[in-house]
Amino acid sequence: MVEPSLSNPKSDAGGMNPDILRHILSRWRPEDAKDPSSDIPKLLYCVPTGGNPTGSGLTLERKQEIYRLAQEYDLMILEDDPYYYIQFTEPLVPSFLSLDVDGRVIRLDSVSKLISPGARIGFLTGPQPMVQKILYKVMSSTSHPSGISQMLILSVLKKWGHEGFLTRMEDLRNLYREKSQQCIVHLNKHLRGLAEWAEPTGGMFIWIKILGITNTSDLVTKAYLKDALFVAGKVFQIDSSAPSQYIRASYAFATHEEMDKAFSRLAECLKEELSKKI
């Protein structure tokens, strides 16, 4: 796994870097996709909007380039996009599905981030043969989502209608955009010079590089003991035992005042850690 960062060209504030993807795929020839014995990748999984933990989102230009690579190497794209309607740019960046002309995109959506987390309802869109195989798998494993949840969500959507749904999404988008901006204000107030970050382009998270230390685990623990909750960057690595300079913060539920207190306490803990090195 490539650890997302502010300075890492493999994944930056604009999301996945198509040039790096091309470099990785260059280990194979495009015609290897037709060889059943080849170990060429078959599927590209991505969270294109408001990625967790980075808060980054793919631009239209990058999506177009990634799709061209998928065509060249015959990749399926699994577009996991629960934050699509929580983009902070206007107009919204089109989805991979909307760019698909070959039937190579499977799109996953969720109402958890848009209507009700407790509903546990999501849906997929894609080529009919692939969707049918996935449905067979669901039938033989989880059976199906809660019928009560499905009826509740259906009732809400019927009441809203299409225009009502879009209005709700605009309100939600404005809410999280405002919260992300509040988060940046408090980061600048308490951690300027102590950390680096890129402004989120969507979603509910911000990815923060802590300067002066190589592993944020102890820092996150000390902040937690002061009632400030962050997530250590190593949690998002395949090798979670490896050190990470990063932490993830979520502004989804925190108030203006709570953000101020949390970043203030994090800064206090960080300054204590840095003072030990002097």
Per-residue pLDDT tens for 127-163? 999 999 999 998 888 778 889 999 999 999 999 999 9
β-bridge partners, 210? 195
Q: Calculate ∠ Cα 60-14-131, nearest 5°.
A: 55
- pLDDT value of residue 9: 52
pLDDT for 3 beyond 70: no
pLDDT for 76 beyond 90: yes
CA 111 vs CA 57, 83, 152, 160, 274: distances in Å: 19, 10, 12, 14, 42
Amino acid at 100: D
Architecture of the CATH domain 11-161: 3-Layer(aba) Sandwich (3.40)
Q: Where are the domains of the chain?
A: 11-161, 171-275
Confidence of residue 5 (pLDDT cuts 50, 70, 90): very low
Per-residue pLDDT tens for 89-103? 889 999 999 999 999
- Rounded Cα distance between 270 and 126, Å, is 47
CATH code 3.40.50.300 for 171-275: no
- pLDDT value of residue 139: 87
Total-model pTM: 0.89
